[in-house]
Structure 1
Amino acid sequence: MYKKILVPVDLSDPEMTTHALDAALALAKTGAEASLRLINVQPLVPVAFVDYIPPNFDEEMREAAEKDLAALAAKVELPHERVSSIVRFGAVYPEVLAEAEDWGADLIVVGSHRPTMATYLLGSNAKTIVRHARCSVLVVRQ
């Protein structure tokens, strides 16, 4: 059914990540040779803070996120050649959508919180991914 499943991972919210990853894994196991890619998006440091952080701060963030993603990917019950991960920098939804395009994903499985007043006022990444993705999107609620 699906060949390439992209799963955005919020390293600060393991419960939401687990629900999305479980759903993606179930779909990957039903498809013939489906691959999973875990993506984590790290925020860019505002220019106003550049003077207050170490010069290699972005690289340290990337290394820490890659390590955490590798540990998560190692737990996925698929052959290792069918699981990959990537860390990108920027805003969440544009980077997830760009990775889906670059990698050729045919499904994005995104975890989402129950809507709150802040979500209605500020928007949500899941909502924007659903609205703008060029492939199918599955939103998994906790």
Structure 2
Amino acid sequence: MYKHILVPVAFDEAHDPGEAVAVARRLVADDGQVSLLHVMAHVPSYVINYVPEGFQAEAQTAIVASLEAMGADLPNVKGVVEEGHAGKTIVKWGALNAVDCIVIASHRPGVQDIVLGSTAAQVVRHAKCAVHVTR
């Protein structure tokens, strides 16, 4: 059993976090913690002037609430929003927060993934802890 599990969550049609959350539920120790992490892309500087003031903070608050609702039946669940590149941010956050297992959902690879690599593949290659990939 793991003490601190990280479940990255992408809010798009290609990824269903349900299976990853279910796996985390089975793998976490009774006194363990599960962190649900969503990584927001940086807003380019040429766009920032068109984003209403306070929008980013409101969006982060709403996402944290959605994450914590998604994991309501998990022990010591915590919703987290970070800004950055998804793969790098997941690996870095895991290393900085004593995560001993990452449970990440993956999709069927497409041509883009062959050229650029998927987020799950990047996490598998660079994480310093156990990684479980669900499909």
Structure 2 length normalisation: TM-score? 0.90
Q: Tell me how far apart the structure 2 counterparts of residues 71 and 12 of structure 1 sit (CA, whole Å).
A: 17
Q: Give 2:96's aligned amino acid.
A: D
Structure 1 length normalisation: TM-score? 0.86
Q: Any idea what SS the aligned residue of 2:42 has?
A: coil
| Identity, % of aligned positions | 35
Cα-Cα RMSD: 1.7
1:85 lines up with 2:79 in the alignment: yes
1:120 lines up with 2:118 in the alignment: no
Q: Look up the match of 1:105.
A: 99
Question: Is the Cα–Cα contact under 8 Å of residues 4 and 37 in structure 1 kept in the other structure?
Answer: yes
Q: Tell me how far apart the structure 2 counterparts of residues 17 and 63 of structure 1 sit (CA, whole Å).
A: 19
CA distance 1:37–1:13, shift in 2 (3 Å)? farther
Q: Look up the match of 2:88.
A: 94
Q: Tell me how far apart the structure 2 counterparts of residues 112 and 73 of structure 1 sit (CA, whole Å).
A: 19
> Deviation digits for residues 12-48 of structure 1, max 9, x if unmatched?
34962001111111112xx342221111111111111
**1:55 shift after superposition:** 2.3
> Deviation digits for residues 50-69 of structure 1, max 9, x if unmatched?
12111222112212211211
Q: Any idea what SS the aligned residue of 1:85 has?
A: strand
The number of equivalent residue pairs is 135
Q: Tell me how far apart the structure 2 counterparts of residues 36 and 14 of structure 1 sit (CA, whole Å).
A: 23
Q: Look up the match of 2:7.
A: 7
CA distance 1:128–1:14, shift in 2 (3 Å)? closer
For structure 1, which runs of at least 5 residues remain unmatched after alignment? none
CA distance 1:21–1:96, shift in 2 (3 Å)? same
Flag the structure with higher helix content.
Answer: 1
Flag the structure with higher strand content.
Answer: 2
1:50 lines up with 2:48 in the alignment: yes
Question: Is the Cα–Cα contact under 8 Å of residues 3 and 106 in structure 1 kept in the other structure?
Answer: yes
For structure 2, which runs of at least 5 residues remain unmatched after alignment? none
CA distance 1:14–1:46, shift in 2 (3 Å)? same
Q: Tell me how far apart the structure 2 counterparts of residues 49 and 65 of structure 1 sit (CA, whole Å).
A: 21
Q: Which moved more, 1:45-54 or 1:31-40?
A: 31-40
CA distance 1:127–1:117, shift in 2 (3 Å)? same
Q: Tell me how far apart the structure 2 counterparts of residues 107 and 62 of structure 1 sit (CA, whole Å).
A: 24
1:34 corresponds, among 32, 35, 44, to 32
